Structure 1
Amino acid sequence: MAEKIIGKPAAIYDEFSRKGGAAPTATHYCPGCGHGIIHKLIGEAMDDLGIQDRSVMISPVGCAVFAYYYFDCGNLQVAHGRAPAVGTGISRAQDNAVVISYQGDGDLASIGLNETMQAANRGEKMAVFFVNNTVYGMTGGQMAPTTLIGEKTVTCPDGRDPRFAGYPLHMCEIL
């Protein structure tokens, strides 16, 4: 008999009452968005590792900020780009905490680029989930630092041209 693989991790709330709306078990994310899948994977890992009660999810602006709707763990919303700085403080002050920074590309690769690089350089004790959809999604699909060459957005309708907009940042290679 096949193993049941559809289910909800304990680290994810049963209902999303903070979100509001008519469907308390549906997320607010756009169709095709990867946030829901990433949330489930993080929740499953938290369950498998038994770290839910020690976990602190840090989520800055953009769609990442809504993690507190879904994760049943410590949650902290922070200013744009400042998740690595706040994560550093939490992990240094609470040695047993499992710090999870959940950031989009506009946050991590733009305004938070310095904080991200400095935290990585120091080897700070936190997990960083970088959700890179190559646009500023929540505000209408503007070009982000990670927008690919030729990719069309509302602010570059003919596609990103490196002669005018530079090349996209490849964060994994940079770090």
Structure 2
Amino acid sequence: MEYKYTICFIKKGEQILMLNRVKSPWMGIWNGVGGKIEKGEEPKESVLREILEETGISLKDVDYKGVVTWLVDGIRTGGMHAFVAEIPETFEYHTPVSTDEGILAWKNISWILHPENLGLANVKYFLPQMLEDSNTYNHQFIYENGNVVDYSVTPLEEFVNV
């Protein structure tokens, strides 16, 4: 299946640059940066472009972590290629920053993954593995009536050309 979206988690030390979106989907929710893959673009090209457009940060490389896919009320509705980028702790990018996409802010990983944090997209399920494991996976969600009812992780069988 071809996926239409990308997402990246930019890590600086123990913090990740998160975006609190002002538009649907995920309006008012913290998530990584990314967006729609344009016609003729490879996922890696897309995510690097989206990072630059959404943050102003120009990165040369990102690490591919696999895909996040979802079924909503029994229908496969999409997926996204996921990436992680590590930047030096000395990199200066002052937040919060208000953009057309939302508010960008550095958030501590412990805050992002806190079990009582309800203000995030479903990243708490897959982010720890993406940060700690160099392998690529399909992180699949099943939603019913807007709620996650199942989450599974399977290794990607073959390397996806990104």
Select the structure with the greater relative contact order (CA < 8 A; seq sep ≥ 6). Answer: 2
Fold shared by both chains (TM-score > 0.5): no
TM interval, shorter chain, is under 0.3
Larger radius of gyration between Structure 1 and Structure 2: 1
TM-score normalized by the length of structure 2? 0.26
TM-score normalized by the length of structure 1? 0.25
Query: Greater share of strand residues, 1 or 2?
Result: 2
Query: Greater share of helix residues, 1 or 2?
Result: 1
